[in-house]
Structure 1
Amino acid sequence: MPFSQDFAQVHYQSENGVVTLTLNRPERINSLTAQMHADLRACLDLAESQRDTKVILLTGAGKGFCAGQDLTDQETNTRDLGEALEKNYNVLVRRLVCLPYPVIAAVHGVAAGAGANLALAADLTIMGQNAVFTQAFIRIGLMPDAGGTWFLPHRVGLQKALGLAMTGEKITGQEADAMGLIWKAVPDDQVLLAAQALATQLAQAPSQALHETKQAMWAALQQSLDQQLDWERDAQRRLGRTADFSEGVSAFLEKRAPQFKGS
């Protein structure tokens, strides 16, 4: 059954295994506040408590995805920005990466600063071709945070990462796609539809295989080839004992569409 709930600054909707979290401060281009972080944590708690959750889709209300940190928010007006990062952004990024199901970000309009890096924390990021991505931190005397200094060089290499961070240059979704920063750029009016179609596709996929794939890929960024081969061996052993593997093989041999159950 479809379910929805309005938090103070995030809208929660769940249907057919897809949980959609919509940043809901359109009048501020969904700029991030302490309240929004609290809402996102509560939303993820709710999603994990629902046994049918298979995919998280993150998007923004109004004309843009997220303009980054709201500089008028009380927590920004402190000299210890590290404390705010540790309390909010670091918790959020770590959680998105560690969730046992895929996270998709649908980016339209603008994704700036921490908003851009929130989009990059997703496993798969879809952007409008003309949407704007910028590491805006340098304009206020800061460096990228919310995982930006890790995501950027791992996705596009050191030179491109430094260029984006040091200049704050704006790039389009089409440019982000071309440099390998995101999964895919689509026509601006198709962003949410494309993200929803992808979410539906993944919700129908074998969930344990998706979980193991996500864990293995993230682990590979920290491990040697030898360690990764051992990881693949152990994960594939677990997947080979699932009902979904048996169903997948049977469906292939019988030339029919598989009906995966997540077991």
Structure 2
Amino acid sequence: MTDVEAERVEGLLVDLADGILRVTIARPDRMNALDIDSMRALGDLLEGRARERDVRVVVLAGEGGAFCTGADLIAASSGPGTDPRVVMDTANRVIRAILTLPSPVLARVDGAAAGVGASLALAADLTYAAPSAYFLLAFVNVGLMPDGGSSLLVPAAVGRARAAEMALLGERLGAVDAHAAGLITRVLPPDDLAAHVDAVAATLAAGPRRAIELTKRSLTAATLDRVEEALARETEGQAELLGSADFREGAAAMLARRRPRFGS
């Protein structure tokens, strides 16, 4: 891929210009929910193309009114069964790739960042949002627990009490409150969001590569040094819950737009 090409790969729109690799989740008909193939493609991209020498910054965004609403429950319910541990390993690979990428990662959030979509946004080094954006650990609403590292990413930013409110009650946190709580970098007017993210990306792309890399590494080590433990706990718990009757009921209720009737 050259500086003038753009490519669509498994629900992703990818382009590179001036050292900035822009990765847009392009599944607007599903509010950019990720199925297993698009999650694998995102992991491949972040572990491969994003680490090449001509990439100095990565920008993550969503197409059409949402950032990412998590896992695609319609795809999961209609397709062949996938081992829960494979699902978890695929999601964990993406989060790990964002955190360990030498280049800084920016998230541009417009609309919903829910479930693993919230994890993607919060794993970024700098997260910018429109006032309409919100962050939602929706897992408990379908009988699951937080994953994608969010059981660490959120409390590391906002503290245990606020994280417990988000995770246990499954209530959305609007962008303004998310910024006030220290969860995201900045809230910008909708008309200014893309231009501001582009300007920050350009500043970073023109900056000292090695100094930025070592700074990112140091900040991540200082604040998220137990991320592997968190991912392991989430994998164990979620692998159990993904096979549970409560998850089946929660997913069915969400797809039917009704309240779930949990039994356990």
TM range (shorter): 0.7 to 0.9
For residues 153-209 of structure 1, give each alpha carbon's deviation from its aligned partner in whole angstroms, at most 9, with x where no partner exists: 100000000001011111211110000001111112322222111111111111111
Match of 1:9 among 8, 11, 18: 11
Residues 222 and 30 from structure 1, CA distance in 2 versus in 1: closer, same or farther, beyond 3 angstroms?
Answer: closer
2:148 corresponds in structure 1 to 146
Matched, 1:114 2:126: no
Alignment of 1:1-263 (within 5 A): 1-44=3-46, 45-49=48-52, 51-74=53-76, 78=81, 80-86=83-89, 88-221=90-223
Q: Is the 8 A contact 1:129 1:185 kept in 2?
A: yes
TM-score computed with the length of structure 2 as normaliser: 0.79
Q: Is the 8 A contact 1:12 1:43 kept in 2?
A: no
For residues 42-95 of structure 1, give each alpha carbon's deviation from its aligned partner in whole angstroms, at most 9, with x where no partner exists: 32312323x211000000111111111101224887585333101x11111111
Give 1:165's aligned amino acid. Answer: A
Query: Matches of 2:165 and 2:112 in 1, distance apart?
Result: 19
1:116 deviates by 0.8
Residues 168 and 189 from structure 1, CA distance in 2 versus in 1: closer, same or farther, beyond 3 angstroms?
Answer: farther
Higher relative contact order (CA 8 A, sep 6+): 2
Residues 222 and 10 from structure 1, CA distance in 2 versus in 1: closer, same or farther, beyond 3 angstroms?
Answer: closer
| 2:73 partner SS | coil
Q: Is the 8 A contact 1:131 1:188 kept in 2?
A: no
**Greater alpha carbon shift after TM alignment, 175-184 vs 67-76:** 67-76
Query: Matches of 2:80 and 2:123 in 1, distance apart?
Result: 25
Query: Matches of 1:120 and 1:222 in 2, distance apart?
Result: 12
Query: Matches of 2:80 and 2:194 in 1, distance apart?
Result: 34
Give the CA RMSD over aligned residues: 1.7
| 2:102 partner SS | coil
Query: Matches of 1:17 and 1:23 in 2, distance apart?
Result: 19
| 2:14 partner SS | strand
Query: Matches of 1:71 and 1:64 in 2, distance apart?
Result: 16
Query: Matches of 1:222 and 1:62 in 2, distance apart?
Result: 31
Give 1:41's aligned amino acid. Answer: G
Query: Matches of 1:216 and 1:169 in 2, distance apart?
Result: 32
Residues 79 and 27 from structure 1, CA distance in 2 versus in 1: closer, same or farther, beyond 3 angstroms?
Answer: closer
Give 1:221's aligned amino acid. Answer: T
**Greater alpha carbon shift after TM alignment, 122-131 vs 153-162:** 122-131
TM-score computed with the length of structure 1 as normaliser: 0.80
